[in-house]
Structure 1
């Protein structure tokens, strides 16, 4: 078996390790030869821009891979979806279905047609008299880039131009700002049914549109979770989606919820490791099984531990020297992304590392989260 992984970022490291358990012939592909997996894979790193479809198709045809697996970014997944028709070994949804989920404008249109719970969308000409907060965002960007809250018409043009700058297609969407807490619902689908899912509470301490702190919420309202599951399974069966992961960001005020974004690629910043450390569930293994056509429901959760994931970032550009902790924590894992002396850009453009913190219970994990949200856990410069 010979497998190609389209990603060299550290977030795909758990996927890479699981693939290595299946075969020694695991190749990684990307344009940055200094990236994490490019260095780890060494001679099995392919320096190739996988967004270049023709070059990628030629490479896959030449090397005759048994399977192609997308990593933890949208371009990787979209590329796999685009080459599906020309390669029988790519087990993935076709591009028309993929774009419904990945493109914010198309997903909002689909949701309106199907009466799914999503924020209200506004037309530009309908904003002559803004009386509520609205969000202007790119239709196809990521990591909170290009999103702005506006409350009056004078801010609209600037927000639209900013959104277009971060959009690959130069398109934007304007939608209502809904109040509530941000969560992700991450689910594995088999034969149109959810076989395992998790609710993760998410927060942004350095940038309100960028998740940098999260943990599994074992106490999420069961009735609301039932409604979310019904909604997700409806989408899966209506679009006839392939078996595999369906990851959803949503906002809930405790009584209702709004779908914000859906994706089928593995979430970044080692999200898979958060689930595995917390529950023992083999998230990365289940993710790749979807693209090998062998996803089944035999895997189980072995524990319910309290683990907090935090991406170390900054709300202002600075020179990074070290992480100086102001509070004692039980750090169980840390992945460094920056070197001492490096200039770090503010979130979402720069990251220092990803930490995993073990907590005693619900109160303890909330305590650490609150300290992080106050930006009181650590400092990065002298």
Structure 2
């Protein structure tokens, strides 16, 4: 079988490493930490920052993989493209990797091709950001090329901008710049898809809800093929048109949109599967397609086709647990929660003895769960049963 190099080895890369192993491949995984979760499942773990292109290229030259990839990680996409090109392996190319990770490039693309997107300004210093805020009024500031909602803030005044500008800038990776852009009021959606020899097809759509105390951080992604308030067919067709126009040659995509004034506005789009196990767990349930396995096969030169199943009765949810702040002294009920029918996974990101806080970004959420069902009512019933099973006790 083949040798596969996976760049990034956190919790969300474990599924694609496991998929590659289940297909009989040897896996080399690189990540910043010696105790990276995905190293447990890989044949070889090599310590390297995913942003360090040359170190990852050195690892590739050492092991000579047949394919190099990542999933559920934006910041690894440019490194994967670079290593693939240098090793003469199949990949999406550095130009496409830049388009699918640089938010300003996305905005330029949308403006050029007539897709709705927020008015935005590329700012390299505070003065430019202040001028942009004056033009926009209420705005949102975000790093040029980060992930996990880090460094994203809603700003209404110069005082707020001054408070968060350096924080936001610190999360930009390849270029020290931020975007100050029009704040789009409205409901947010995600759209996942896969490009195979059958063309590009949508594999899952979700409607997002957010924490009441932080509108930039989602507390739920509800997946279905229909919505009483929004036209999912229109959203699906828009996403197909956009990804096709952007020229994704093959592989997975994950996009986020907001709906305002009768239009779906692109917030961002990535050339990888949805994080927190959307691509590995939710997509197969909602579409009947194992896009991770197809992605690996395509990288190895195999021709793959898709037959997406739009089962209107299916629902699934990626939810994020929220508990009051405090010092946790005891956790109970997790085994009961995991035994609820339809629960694919439920996990806490803290332990007894920890102090927990309200979520500031995607990575600081205190727990998550993935749950599937054959109807909306069944989904919510199972969700309540699962949540009621978990008991958190606090001390002083």
TM class by shorter-chain length?
Answer: 0.7 to 0.9
Q: Describe the shift of the 1:320–1:37 C-alpha distance in structure 2 as closer, same or farther (beyond 3 A).
A: farther
TM-score by length of 1: 0.84
**C-alpha deviation, 1:73, in angstroms:** 1.1
**Equivalent residue for 1:172?**
178
**CA distance in 1: counterparts of 2:80 and 2:135, whole angstroms:** 43
Q: Distance in 2 between matches of 1:238 and 1:300?
A: 21
**Aligned match for 1:334, one of 341, 345, 348:** 345
After TM superposition, give the deviation of residue 371 of structure 1 in Å.
Answer: 12
Instruction: Indicate the residue corresponding to 1:311 in structure 2.
Output: 320
After TM superposition, list the pairs within 5 Å mapping 1:149-298 onto structure 2.
149-168=154-173, 169-190=175-196, 193-205=199-211, 207-220=214-227, 224-253=231-260, 255-272=262-279, 273-294=281-302, 296-298=304-306
Question: How many angstroms does 1:46 deviate by?
Answer: 2.3
**Paired residues of 1:164 and 1:171 also in contact (CA < 8 A):** yes
1:59 matched to 2:66? The reply is no
Q: Give the secondary-structure state (helix, strand or coil) at the position aligned to 1:74.
A: coil
User: 1:108 aligns to what?
Assistant: 107
Say which SS state the counterpart of residue 38 (structure 1) adopts: helix
Equivalence for 2:125: none
Partners of 2:111 and 2:329 in 1: how far apart? 46
Relative to structure 1, is the Cα distance of residues 317 and 72 closer, same or farther in structure 2, using a 3 angstrom cutoff?
A: farther
Distance across 1 between alignment mates of 2:375 and 2:41: 36
**Structure 1 pair 293–184 and aligned structure 2 pair: CA distance change class (3 A):** farther
Residues 245 and 320 of structure 1: CA distance in aligned 2, closer, same or farther (over 3 Å)? farther
Q: What SS does the aligned partner of 2:20 have?
A: helix
Report the RMSD for the aligned CA atoms in angstroms.
Answer: 3.4
Superposition map of 1:56-135 within 5 A: 56-89=56-89, 91-122=90-121, 124=129, 125-128=131-134, 131=137, 133-135=138-140
C-alpha separation in 2, matches of 1:359 and 1:191: 30
SS of 2:216's partner is coil
- 1:14 and 1:290, CA in 2 relative to 1: closer, same or farther beyond 3 A? same
Superposition deviation, residue 251 in structure 1: 0.9
Pair 1:323–1:153, CA change in 2 (3 A): farther
Alpha-carbon deviation of 1:174?
Answer: 1.2
Partner of 2:124: none
**Alignment gaps of 5+ in structure 1:** none
TM norm structure 2: 0.81
Kindly indicate whether the alpha-carbon contact (under 8 Å) linking 1:224 and 1:256 is maintained by their aligned counterparts in 2: no
Decide which moves more: 280-289 or 146-155. Answer: 280-289
